[in-house]
A and B are shown apart, each in its own frame.
Chain A
Amino acid sequence: MTLLIPGLRNSAAAAIAATFVVGAVLIALPFVVAQTPLANAGVRALAFALLYVMLALGLNIVVGFAGLLDLGYIAFYAVGAYMYALLASPHLTSNFPALAAMFPQGFHSSIWMVIPLGAALAAFFGVVLGAPVLKLRGDYLAIVTLGFGEIIRIFLNNLNSPLNLTNGPQGITLIDPVRILGVNFGRTQNFFGIELPSVYLYYYLFLVLAIVTIVVCIRLQDSRLGRAWMAIREDDIAAKAMGINVRNVKLLAFALGATFGGVAGAMFAAFQGFVSPESFSLMESIIVLAMVVLGGLGHIPGVVLGALLLAIFPEVLRHTVVPVQQQLFGKVLIDAEVLRMLLYGLAMVVIMLYRPKGLWPAPEHGLNPTIRRGRNGAKAQTA
């Protein structure tokens, strides 16, 4: 916590107090939001925002820490989601009688198995996708990863014949909700007299996962591996000369980044109850990238902020823009979806022009922090 709030660094008591306050707010949040006009949809949006936080932090490892521009990151989300969908829904057993015979109860998977499995599978894909592209320069890497992401989406869309693996554009439905220690997250549960609708339960689960993700990322950042990633990002030739096996370290970035995507994907599948290739389009990859870049590339608090802002803002928009337009024009000129995309695009352009390091970049610490590099890279003189 002290890392996230400068100024509290030296006061252990203040840090603990802050943690309690923030913790209390986060726990109470669903109840508060449910009272607003957003109601349960608002809590749902919060839950999705937490998934995006995981995705953004995962992508941050690849783009922010290691400096590798991945435009196909959503593929790992898709892998995790479809993996869970296949292992926890009637799809496989209803399409392949042999499997139905072997598993008369159908496919149901425990979360304790799914999370490590999702992580491992996504990591595997991370290595497979990353290995051939490691030596490409920046923009080429971006395009190839974009291509990979699209290839995966096309395959998901078309692998419904000759063998119906993914059920094509219709996707896979009837996915099991999460079940932990007998508690079914798909139903409203009652804890000590407090009613917790399914959406709240998922929110708390994702909150825990997001916090774990944040902690893991912070630890990775301040480690030998984290430094190696940053060295590669800054100057990969010098990094090589200093003994870093750049190829393996880059692969590790891809693999580790992918694991967060995979786990988030599995949770998404459970939460939403169905998956289809539509949820894993290029636009989603770009949105996650926008969250990382606009939040503060490489700076964990910035990335979290970026994810939360870009995930929640469209929801707020959806509930304000439509009625406002109805009031003003009597009809909806621009629907919320389109407006959301337009604003994403504008945000990307505007922020790169005026605040290229993001909204909350890593603090600079140097001899003369007022020496700023001008637009053309030259050092400005200070008095």
Chain B
Amino acid sequence: METFIQQVLNGLVLGSLYSLIALGYTMVYGILNLINFAHGDVLMVGALTALSVILLLQAQFPGMPGWLLLVAGMAVAIPTCVVVSLIIERVAYRPLRNAPRLAPLITAIGVSIVLQTLAMIVWGRNYMTFPQLLPADPIQLLGATVTVTKLLVIVLSALIMAALMLLVNRSKLGRAMRATAENPRVAGLMGVNPNYVIAVTFAIGAGLAAVAGVMLAATYTVAHFYMGFLPGLKAFTAAVLGGIGNIPGAMVGGLLLGLIEALGAGYIGQLTGGVLGSHYQDVFAFIVLCAVLILRPSGLLGERVADRA
């Protein structure tokens, strides 16, 4: 039985990952009213691409330090994910921008399946081991045990999210994004190119997903073609929990969901007298999802969805 602090730390690691992924969902939903079903699979592409690069480099340059490999992996994963995401937006989502809502949802599901099967073809079906790149010695912190990788997740996510907040709130592009998120047509009349802003939104989301994917694989040392599904779904839950379309909401929602899941999984055995074990962990996210959507659909911080007048 791990200590409370340990659970909290695990929760923060998980939550940071969820936040990064949730941001992608929330930003796209805020502008397009579309659940980008394929987002989780984009993160998978990032993780697997990074893995291939890292394995390649390890074979070619056996002396290369772990952190460099990680950086190299990310450096390739991020543009790959961005490109994939932009292609998806251009080919599958843009033509359906004004179609009744069922169509883009079906397309999104279709894209998700295509990504998974392409990944199956390229990388095979089996679970692959993501190498331990950073020192694995446990560090004692505040009474809990962490690894460098886990700390990196928390720190990196925090930095990225801070940068994103700066971008969205202080830059011209950020202003354009916020305007388009509120009312694309009017933003267009004010000289903002909505297609450009939407593309940028997808690109940023994809970049975040790539980082999350690589860090997810690095933390749990495993990667495979289906790895994006559950994190994707949970991250969507987190986005809704915080308030869909609401960027700070996604951050808060992600962290909160991570904590709920870690604490829940840790204590569920005790709570149910041993009837339900920790393999019901995934059910927590689903329960939170259903509860939020049924009881408080606008989320904790309120939703921010485009006004499609």
Contacts and interface: CB of A to CB of B under 8 A. Distances in A.
On whether the two chains bind one another, the answer is yes
Interface of A: 69, 132-133, 136, 138-140, 142-144, 146-148, 150-151, 154-155, 158, 161-162, 282-283, 286, 289-290, 293, 297, 333-334, 338-339, 341-342, 344-349, 352-353, 356, 375-377
Interface of B: 33-35, 92, 95-96, 98-107, 109-114, 116-118, 120-121, 125, 229, 233, 236, 240, 274-275, 277, 279-280, 282-283, 286-287, 289-290, 293-294, 297
6 contacts: A133-B293, A143-B289, A147-B286, A150-B233, A338-B117, A352-B107
Nearest to B124: A338
A132 B289 CA distance: 12
B45 to A, nearest CB: 14
A138 B101 contact: yes
A324 B151 CA distance: 51
B101 A353 contact: no
Contact of B293 (A144, A151, A286, A356): A144
Contacts of B290: 132-133, 144, 147-148
A151 B114 contact: no
B294 to A, nearest CB: 5
Interface of B is mostly: helix
A364 to B, nearest CB: 15
B106 A144 contact: no
Nearest to B287: A151
A27 B280 CA distance: 47
B96 A352 contact: yes
A143 B110 contact: no
Given A144-B290, A375-B95, A341 B113 contact: yes
A346 B107 CA distance: 9
Contacts of A353: 92, 95-96, 107
Contact of A349 (B107, B287, B297): B107
Nearest to B125: A338
Given A132-B290, A334-B121, A344 B107 contact: no
Given A158-B280, A338-B120, A349-B110, A69 B105 contact: yes
B10 to A, nearest CB: 21
A9 to B, nearest CB: 30
A307 B106 CA distance: 16
B79 to A, nearest CB: 23
Q: Which 3 A-B pairs have the closest CB atoms?
A: A348-B110, A345-B113, A345-B114
A151 B230 CA distance: 12
Contacts of A140: 240, 293, 297
Contacts of A377: 98
Contacts of B277: 158, 161
Most buried by A among B99, B105, B229: B105
A344 B294 CA distance: 31
Given A148-B290, A349-B92, A356-B99, A136 B297 contact: yes
Contact of B103 (A132, A154, A286, A356): A356
Contacts of B116: 341, 345
Contacts of A148: 286, 290
Contacts of B118: 342
Nearest to A350: B110
B274 A162 contact: yes
Given A139-B33, A345-B116, 20 more contacts: A132-B290, A133-B290, A136-B294, A138-B102, A140-B240, A140-B293, A143-B236, A144-B290, A289-B106, A333-B121, A334-B121, A338-B117, A338-B125, A342-B121, A345-B112, A346-B110, A349-B92, A352-B99, A375-B98, A375-B99
B109 A348 contact: yes
B109 A151 contact: no
A290 B100 CA distance: 17
A286 B297 contact: no
A297 B275 CA distance: 43
Nearest to B118: A342
A286 to B, nearest CB: 6
A283 B113 CA distance: 9
A132 B113 contact: no
A215 to B, nearest CB: 27
A329 to B, nearest CB: 13
Contact of A139 (B105, B113, B287): B105
B282 A154 contact: yes
A334 B117 CA distance: 10
Given A139-B35, A150-B286, A344 B293 contact: no
A349 B280 contact: no
A69 B106 CA distance: 10
Contacts of A289: 106, 109
A341 B107 contact: no
A282 B113 CA distance: 11
Nearest to B107: A352
A143 B120 CA distance: 25
B195 to A, nearest CB: 14
Contacts of B96: 352-353, 356
Contacts of B99: 352, 356, 375
A69 B102 contact: yes
Contacts of B34: 139
A290 B113 CA distance: 12
A283 B280 CA distance: 20
A95 to B, nearest CB: 17
Nearest to B117: A342
A143 B293 contact: yes
B106 A352 contact: yes
A311 B102 CA distance: 22
